[in-house]
């Protein structure tokens, strides 16, 4: 044993003298893992690395009635000039949704469901997500929804209640199946890129040069880090969560951030950046980008770095609506319109502080409309009530936001 030790020491000394590094290997660390084919030939399978991988065999054999929203009205063509886009959030199928009939009676080019499209929180913690599936089935069966779906093409993203659990983020174990349900319900094609990647973020472009509208739908759930809970639950301005300067926290995840940068570099005249949760709002302690100020600064910085002009932020979630603007983050005034809710209003007024807000919030049921007057070079950001009357409005010139 001493002889072998001496020989090893001598060999290392010679290698060091020759300037060559010692090649010391640890089979447990340095041996490449066996391929899936090698494991299969031995009757073995790879140990799952994530909850999604672990649950994949279960979902592969799960027999369930997939909820599907019908009928499907095709999206406008790539050259279609958009002049009116309606949107809304916070919509439960357990009660009437009369406001959808109001929207269906108007003329719009498309409708965007921007989160909390159903309330299917999986409090059973059943991996088959029975509550979420039932919520989708209920919405699909509602005559008001069917009428709206037949009337307009639709785009959608999710928020927490149609993701599967209130305030949930990246650690939600059943998010892979929730994504499948989402894509099936909203009619995503089998070759849709979202079926082969994690997360439901998406982008669409409509119209010719000079009238080109890019719609970017973010996923603020699938990759999001845990939020920082408040030390004073219910206290004004810090009701549930407080901001954190933790640089490890993420709102979108690395892959989505890279994708967003690519999208913002694409040519467009007007860009609707859809975030299910509010971006500008600083007057409350509920979910919002303010809980991760470094990530919010990153978003603002990316808009400026990519020279992405014409950006307007669209958000929901709050069970109240409002208009916001910041003129200190993007090289031009960056407007935000929040619309919520379609049929889940909890109050008649919301008087929370709003340092970036334009005027008062509107708390009764409502929906949003983005009107595009290309000839006049103007965008109208509107909040409408259940009867279709405009209750809040901000008109923005295209030149003001760098779109002309």
List, as one string, the DSSP characters of 58-120: HHHH---------S-PPPPPTTPPP-EEEEE----TTS--THHHHHHTS--SEEEE-S-SS--
Structure confidence by residue, pLDDT tens digits, 67-110: 999 999 999 999 999 999 999 999 999 999 999 999 999 999 99
The predicted pLDDT at position 36 comes to: 75
Query: Who wins on pLDDT, 209 or 8?
Result: 209
pLDDT at 6 over 80: no
pLDDT at 272: 99
Which of 332, 298, 316, 329 is closest to 366 using CA atoms? 316
Q: What percent of the chain has pLDDT over 70?
A: 92
Q: Among candidates 293, 265, 263, which has minimal Cα distance to 280? A: 293
Lowest average pLDDT, out of 6-15, 299-308, 353-362, goes to 6-15
Tokens matching residue 158: 């999710």
**Would you state the pLDDT for residue 33?**
73
Give the Cα separation of 294 and 290 in Å (integer): 9
Task: Say if 31 falls within a structural domain.
Answer: no
Report pLDDT for 8: 37
3-state helix, strand, coil in the chain (%, to 5): 25, 15, 55
Say if residues 400 and 272 touch (Cβ distance below 8 Å): no
Task: Note the pLDDT of residue 44.
Answer: 79
Strands of 270-275's sheet in order across:
202-206, 213-217, 270-275, 311-315, 334-338, 322-326
| Residue 30, domain member (yes or no) | no
Q: Is residue 18 part of a domain?
A: no
Residue 236 lies in a domain: yes
The arithmetic mean of pLDDT across residues 300-320, rounded, is 98
Q: Cα angle vertex 84, ends 80, 88, to 5°? A: 120
> Is 180 part of a structural domain of the chain?
yes
Instruction: State how far the Cα of 118 lies from the Cα of 113, in Å rounded to an integer.
Output: 10
Q: What value does the mean pLDDT take over residues 380-400? A: 98
The predicted pLDDT at position 26 comes to 52
- How does pLDDT run across 145-175, given as a tens digit for each residue? 999 999 999 999 999 999 999 999 999 999 9
CA distance 331 to 327: 7
Do 70 and 136 form a contact (C-beta atoms < 8 A)? no
Does 26 reside within a domain?
no
Q: Could you tell me if 294 and 339 are in contact, meaning their C-beta atoms sit under 8 angstroms apart? A: no
The count of domains in the chain is 1
Residues in the chain: 404
Is pLDDT above 80 for 235?
A: yes
What percentage of the chain has pLDDT greater than the value 90?
A: 87
238 — phi, psi (to 5°)? Answer: -145, 45
- Full residue range of the structural domain in which residue 101 is found: 62-397
Mean pLDDT of 5-32: 43
For residue 163 the two structure tokens come to 């993701």
Assess whether pLDDT exceeds 60 at residue 65: yes
Confidence grade of residue 18 (pLDDT, cut at 50, 70, 90): very low
Q: How confident is the model at residue 2 (pLDDT cuts 50, 70, 90)?
A: very low
Mean residue pLDDT of the chain comes to 92
Q: What is the CATH number of the domain that holds 266?
A: 3.60.21.70
User: Per-residue pLDDT for 42 more than 90?
Assistant: no
**What per-residue confidence (pLDDT) applies to 11?**
37
Confidence of residue 367 (pLDDT cuts 50, 70, 90): very high
What pLDDT is stored for residue 146 in this prediction?
A: 98
**Residue 76 CA, distance from chain mean position:** 22
pLDDT of residue 95: 97
357: CB partners within 8 A, 6+ apart: 280, 281, 283, 322, 323, 324
Residue 350 lies in a domain: yes
Please report whether residue 35 resides in a domain: no
């Amino acid at each position: 044993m001493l002889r072998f030790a001496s020989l090893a020491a001598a060999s290392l000394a010679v290698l060091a003298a020759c300037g060559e590094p010692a090649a010391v290997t640890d089979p447990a660390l340095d041996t490449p893992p066996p391929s899936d084919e090698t494991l299969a030939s031995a009757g073995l399978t790879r140990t799952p690395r994530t909850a999604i991988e672990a649950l994949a065999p279960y979902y592969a054999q799960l027999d369930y009635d997939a909820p599907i929203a019908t009928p499907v009205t095709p999206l406008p063509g790539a050259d279609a000039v958009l002049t009116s886009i309606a949107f809304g959030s916070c919509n439960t199928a357990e009660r009437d949704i009369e406001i959808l009939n109001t929207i269906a009676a108007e003329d719009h080019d498309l409708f965007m469901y921007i989160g909390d499209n159903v309330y299917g929180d999986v409090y059973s913690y059943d991996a088959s997500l029975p509550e979420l599936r039932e919520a989708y089935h209920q919405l699909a069966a509602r005559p008001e929804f069917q009428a709206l779906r037949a009337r307009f093409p639709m785009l959608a993203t999710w928020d927490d209640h149609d993701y599967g659990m209130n305030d949930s983020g990246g650690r939600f174990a059943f998010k892979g199946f929730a994504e499948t349900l989402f894509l099936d319900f909203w009619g995503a094609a089998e070759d849709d890129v979202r079926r082969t990647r994690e997360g439901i973020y998406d982008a669409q472009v409509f119209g010719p040069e000079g009238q080109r509208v890019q719609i970017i739908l973010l996923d603020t759930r699938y990759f999001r880090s845990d939020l920082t809970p408040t030390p004073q639950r219910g206290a004004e301005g810090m009701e549930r969560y407080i901001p954190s300067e933790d640089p490890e926290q993420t709102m979108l995840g690395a892959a989505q951030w890279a994708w967003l940068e690519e999208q913002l570099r694409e040519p467009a005249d007007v860009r609707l950046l859809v975030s299910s949760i509010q971006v500008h709002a600083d007057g409350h302690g509920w979910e919002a980008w303010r809980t991760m100020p470094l990530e919010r600064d990153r978003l603002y910085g990316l808009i400026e770095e990519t020279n992405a002009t014409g950006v307007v932020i669209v958000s929901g979630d709050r069970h109240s609506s409002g208009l916001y603007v910041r003129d200190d983050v993007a090289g031009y005034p960056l407007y935000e319109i929040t619309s919520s809710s379609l049929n889940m209003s909890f109050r008649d007024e919301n008087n929370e502080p709003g340092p970036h807000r334009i005027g008062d919030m509107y708390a009764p049921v409502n929906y949003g409309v983005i009107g595009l007057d290309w000839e006049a070079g103007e965008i109208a950001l509107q909040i409408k009530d259940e009867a279709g009357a405009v209750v809040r409005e901000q008109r923005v010139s295209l030149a003001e936001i760098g779109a002309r």
